[in-house]
Amino acid sequence: MESDFGGMSQVTDLLDEEIVPAPAVTRLRRRFERPKAVQAKPAVGDEQPRWPILLDAAMLLIAFATTRLFSLAIDQPTPLVLWDASFIVLVLIGFGLRGLYGPSLRPHLLDEIRTVVSATAVATMAVISVRVVLTDDIHLASETAFLWVTSVMWLTFGRTGAFFARVRSIRLGNGKPTLIVGAGKVGNLVAGRLLQRPQFGLRPVGFLDNDPLDIEGERVQLPVLGASWNLEEVLVEQGVQHVIFTFSTAPHSVLLGMVRRCQELGVTTSLVPRLFEVANERVSVEHLGGVPLFAMRPANPKGWQFAVKYGIDRLVAGVLLTMLLPLLAVLALAVRISIGRPIFFRQSRIGLDGREFDMLKFRTMKGTPDKNGEGDADWATQALDSGASALGTNGNGHSNGNGHANGNGNGNGNGNGHQPNPVAAAAVEDRRTPLGRFLRRYSLDELPQLWNVFRGDMSLIGPRPERVSYVKRFEQAVYRYSDRHRVKSGITGWAQVNDLRGKTSLTDRVEWDNYYIENWSLWLDFKIAVFTVACLFRWRED
């Protein structure tokens, strides 16, 4: 049974009665519920590092010196040091209030730069407002504004350097040793994600669970280091700096005691909420006494915000088509010479609300799919197999332990490797031309889809559209696959910039795509666009 982390004694009593025998409950309560004095010894976890605030302070001092030297060079009067010092203090306070110095699982450079610009702008306006009231200096606006621009430049430089230094450190294996409480399905899912994506900076060392579930075929190769009463010794022996609490069979009171003990020892903690599938970034918290209520406000695909997004898409696509017309003409001529007619490859895809449309690409392969087979037939088969297997283990289907999953009563997915191949076996043949390899490597074959965006069939950013024959099978085998069709398909998307491109996990793609839909914002679209440009230099063949 999975435990929650509310604050109600009735829940605790039910868990105690259903999960753990009375003697064991009594023993655990004595260990974790007694008030404990914090021992006078060094904390197990590492303290919040001070270098970020020192780095920002150094960058602000450099910006201050830069503005002073520039003012002296052009014989412009300089303001009192008091005003510049006030600006620096206000900026550092603003950074602290906006969470730049707090713990973060995975800092995003673009988000940090946005905070830098906004916090320094607020500090600038505050200083100018006070100076207007207290002085009559005609140069005050230009002086403070110049300090603002210079500070943004230096702070961005410092934050960028720190970000890439952190990335390099993590790549060298310097992630925080992380303990995962709960060795069930969710615990293994979290551990697997951290192992696949070391950029989060958390290096899982093992599980803590006194009764781990038997989930053969899904268990991550990490040891179970003990039970709940072994928490402190595991923290010390493994040098744990972060603990993630997932679903566990331990009683509520025991988990609560473990969280509090971690906090006493200086070890940071994270908790996976019970209904994590419906959680999103737009969360408001209300309290009924000591009981928190989390209100989820996912983006509405039918709302006016998406109407604005689609309008911007068509406008930008029209501008890009005009600007890129010479390049498109050159690429079309190259395809015509190397392969012949037709120049464009048209394929029926599924978009918004399950509607079909013809997606355009430059031709990159000889022959046609109907005669030579689809180029990713093997991936489609594996996607169906893995999707059916995942569906049978996430609470939305039924699995008998042998790889067979019944998704929704309308079809069966076979997880034993014998799923019928949806396309011809000849698809293993590599039919790409040398020009086609070049076009695919830098995604130039996708440029004609700007016409699809201009027509309104697609969006610049959104879930990638799939073929009609595949969609019908994926909807039956992959959890929440059809939810992707709530918005228009895109040329690029959140899954693609997170390295889920080509022959990668379909279930992961669907998860990332639905995250994008439910947490959509213009800022998220902007980040994806920037990441797409960066990814073009390292993306490879689909």
Beta strand spans in 114-228 (E): 176-181, 202-208
Say whether both 243 and 158 belong to one domain.
Answer: no
Q: Which residue has the higher pLDDT, 13 or 214?
A: 214
Any idea what the CATH number is for the domain that residue 210 is in?
3.40.50.720
Cα–Cα distances (Å) from 434 to 59, 187, 311, 335, 365, in that order, read 48, 45, 37, 11, 9
Average pLDDT for 202-223: 82
Predicted confidence (pLDDT) per residue in 357-391, tens digit: 999 999 988 766 655 556 565 566 666 655 544 44
Predicted confidence at residue 384, as pLDDT, reads 62
Residue 506 lies in a domain: yes
Say whether both 135 and 249 belong to one domain.
Answer: no
Say whether both 179 and 131 belong to one domain.
Answer: no
Say whether both 406 and 443 belong to one domain.
Answer: yes
pLDDT band (50, 70, 90) for residue 418: very low
Say whether both 190 and 208 belong to one domain.
Answer: yes
What percent of the chain is modeled with pLDDT above 90? 34
Task: List the domain range (segments joined by +) for residue 236.
Answer: 9-35+175-279
The DSSP symbol for 251 reads: -
Say whether both 153 and 239 belong to one domain.
Answer: no
Say whether both 55 and 155 belong to one domain.
Answer: yes
Distance CA 292, CA 491 (A): 40
Domain end point (choices 123, 156, 171): 171
Say whether both 451 and 405 belong to one domain.
Answer: yes
Predicted confidence (pLDDT) per residue in 295-308, tens digit: 888 888 998 999 99
H/E stretch holding 163: helix 140-171
Say whether both 247 and 158 belong to one domain.
Answer: no
Residue 179 lies in a domain: yes
Residue 484 lies in a domain: yes
The number of distinct structural domains making up the chain is 3
Distance CA 365, CA 440 (A): 10
Residue 481 lies in a domain: yes
Say whether both 76 and 111 belong to one domain.
Answer: yes
Domain end point (choices 171, 206, 233): 171
Residue 300 lies in a domain: no
Say whether both 25 and 67 belong to one domain.
Answer: no
Domain end point (choices 226, 244, 279): 279
Residue 65 lies in a domain: yes
Distance CA 435, CA 419 (A): 34
The closest alpha carbon to 490, from 306, 259, 269, 246, belongs to 306
Q: Which residue has the higher pLDDT, 450 or 49?
A: 450
Say whether both 120 and 13 belong to one domain.
Answer: no
pLDDT band (50, 70, 90) for residue 25: very low
Residue 271 lies in a domain: yes
Cα–Cα distances (Å) from 10 to 15, 17, 42, 252, 427, in that order, read 9, 11, 37, 10, 59
CB-based contacts of 494, cutoff 8 Å, min separation 6: 512, 513, 515, 516, 524, 528
Residue 112 lies in a domain: yes
Distance CA 71, CA 56 (A): 23
Q: What is the mean pLDDT of the chain?
A: 79
For the entire predicted model, the pTM comes to 0.73
Average pLDDT for 48-60: 86
Decide if 529 contacts 316 (C-beta within 8 A): no
Predicted confidence at residue 7, as pLDDT, reads 39
Q: What is the radius of gyration, based on Cα positions, of the chain?
A: 28
